[in-house]
Amino acid sequence: MNETNVESLNEVFELFSVTKIALVILGIVTLGILAKGVNSIGENLERRIPSQRLLIAQIVTIASFFIYILGGVYILYGVINPPKSLLLATSGTLAVAIGISMKDLVASVVAGVILIFDRPFQVGDRVTFEGIYGEITTIGLRAVRLVTPDDSVVTIPNSKFVTDAVASGNFGAMDMLIEVNFHVDLASDIKLAKEILYETAVTSPYVFLKKPVVLVLTEMNFANRPAMQIRVKSYVLDVQFEKAFQSDLLIRGNEALVEAGITRPSFLEGELNQKFLGELQNKVTYIR
């Protein structure tokens, strides 16, 4: 019995020898360098072949993921090389300890594997998740990072995406549907306004003309007056031009409507005066 205990202690000491610890550290550093090298190569390829930007980003993500997974397995069995007897003896206790202390991390890693293979979204997709909208830039072992239109980086644990709904605007494609709303007075020439806005959309430098440009008309109240909403639905050539495309449609569309004399819905003069007096009264009350 004593000899068995001594052998077990020797095996444990061998696992934590200076040489193995140094090799493990070296292996982790090497994995990080390899992953960064793959990312650097991917960024260079994206600049050289912009038409395949999303595909390259997706390949880089999968490659980085497998570098960490396969590299971690190699470090465990190739460098540390724990004896089978020790693995069997500690597997139950180790599993319980990991399950209790690192359950969230393990759940996120498992969810990361699911995201890579199930692919509810991909790197480069424009997604909406729990009210947050942005472009997926990284799918890592622990979390997903997305960049919002105001250039904020949001980090979300992988496990969140497995249980909650996420909407993808382009789902791996370069193009994406964009909607821009215009409102015109019911007394205006609606047909002319429709033609003007259609021409504005198809002549934009950002439009993707291989997919249709559709205008949807809806009668509604706008500025406390009956109005016609004209919703321009068209596809942007590349998702990175999303905001530029929206701005282009709004600026040129409004300018063209004004030049054509299309009347826009607005507050009536009496309503404006009443609104102004109400705001002034509120300010006076607040000052008092």
Mean pLDDT over 257-277 rounds to 68
pLDDT of 5 strictly over 90? no
Predicted TM-score of the model (pTM): 0.70
Task: Give the gyration radius of the chain's Cα atoms.
Answer: 29
164 conformational bin, left if phi > 0, alpha if psi -120 to 50, beta if neither: beta
Q: For residues 248 and 201, what is the distance between their CA atoms, to the nearest angstrom?
A: 9
**With pLDDT > 70 as the criterion, what percentage of the chain qualifies?**
78
* pLDDT tens per residue, range 51-68: 787 788 878 888 887 888
* pLDDT tens per residue, range 77-96: 777 666 665 555 555 555 55
- In this prediction, residue 86 carries a pLDDT of 55
- Asked if 153 and 144 count as a contact pair (C-beta separation under 8 A), the reply is no
**Based on the number of CB atoms within 10 Å of its own CB, is 17 exposed (0-12), middle (13-18) or buried (19 or more)?**
exposed
Which domains are seen in the chain, by residue range? 2-101 (no CATH), 126-168 (2.30.30.60), 176-269 (3.30.70.100)
Residue 228: phi and psi, rounded to 5, are -105, 120
| Alpha helices (H) in the chain, listed in sequence order | 2-15, 18-48, 53-74, 84-101, 103-118, 158-163, 190-202, 242-259, 269-287
Give the range among 30-39, 90-99, 132-141 with minimum mean pLDDT: 90-99
Written as six digits, the tokens of 32 are 């990080």
pLDDT of 277 strictly over 70? no
- Residues 6 or more apart whose CB falls under 8 angstroms from that of 20 comprise 14, 79, 80
